Amino acid sequence: MDMGIRGKRALVCAASKGLGLGCARALAEAGVHLVMNARGAEALEASASVIRADFGVEVATVAADITTEEGRAAVLAEAGAVDILVNNAGGPPPGMWTDWDREDFIAALDANMLAPIALIKALVPGMMERGWGRVVNITSQSVKSPIAILGLSNSARAGLTGYVAGTSRQVAGKGVTINNLLPGIHATDRAVALDTGVSEREGITLDEAKKKRCATIPAGRYGTPEEFGAACAFLCSQHAGFIVGQNILLDGGAVNATL
């Protein structure tokens, strides 16, 4: 399918690996020029080079921490007037509800709520002026169905979800859509880190931990960054202009709910 966005420009945050990289690759395949961000310059540049070679689009890179004001300033300076924004950052660490104090919550809110909101505030006004824009926030299935050990993530992402619910309706009339993609378990470094946590806590092997987590997914497997990226590219496409303020689960059926 032609996504109808060839030649547009996208900022994809936290994109050197995993789901962010999946989104960057799918947008590049649709002909979108990219500004890619991550903290580590080496992996970021390596991923950008592969995308340039594979798809022939322009790719600029900014190695910066997107959760800090300075990092965002550097990224925004390079991005300029982008048509598409994909918000992403690392997820907060797991733990017990008794573990976290104010500073832990502030860090989680900075990364998974306030950073995407700051980028939306910086870039959406230009999209509205130009009459076209797409914002996709990578959140988590934990927004629909809490993952108890990820209480920091549950909290911060719920805040972003509430913000998007209202804001998306305020900007839709100017041709700008904001939606959230909710990953269930996907085969990325983050999934390996969470598998490792289960293996250590329960005294089982990494393979057993992965099998145990796979058994919670009706599809019987982890999702892939490619599948995730394809959904992101569709939400950023011309065809998705009537999809506003939605929370779309990509979880292999793991969240057991009718709606």
User: How many residues interact with ligand NAP (rule CB under 6 A)?
Assistant: 28
Cα–Cα dist 106/159, whole Å = 12
Nearer to ligand NAP, 189 or 207 (CB): 189
Cα–Cα dist 126/108, whole Å = 28
Nearer to ligand NAP, 41 or 81 (CB): 41
Q: Which of residues 25, 51, 90, 168 is near ligand NAP by CB under 6 A?
A: 90
Residues whose CB falls within 8 Å of the CB of residue 160, separated by 6 or more in sequence, listed in order: 112, 113, 116, 117, 137, 139, 180
Cα–Cα dist 220/211, whole Å = 9
Which runs of E-coded beta strand occur in 94-196? 133-138, 176-183
Instruction: Pick out residues in 27-86 that bind ligand NAP (CB under 6 A).
Output: 37-40, 43, 65-67
Give the shortest CB-93-to-ligand NAP separation in angstroms. Answer: 10
Q: Which two tokens stand for residue 49?
A: 């080079």
Nearer to ligand NAP, 20 or 133 (CB): 20
Give the shortest CB-131-to-ligand NAP separation in angstroms. Answer: 30
> Could you tell me which stretch among 8-16, 25-33, 164-172, 209-217 binds ligand NAP (CB under 6 A)?
8-16
CB distance 198 to 212 below 8 Å: yes
Residue from 190, 104, 98, 191 nearest 148 by CA? 98
Nearer to ligand NAP, 46 or 172 (CB): 46
> Could you tell me which stretch among 52-60, 87-95, 124-132, 198-206 binds ligand NAP (CB under 6 A)?
87-95
Positions touching ligand NAP (CB under 6 A) are: 14-20, 37-40, 43, 65-67, 88-91, 138, 140, 183, 185-186, 188-191
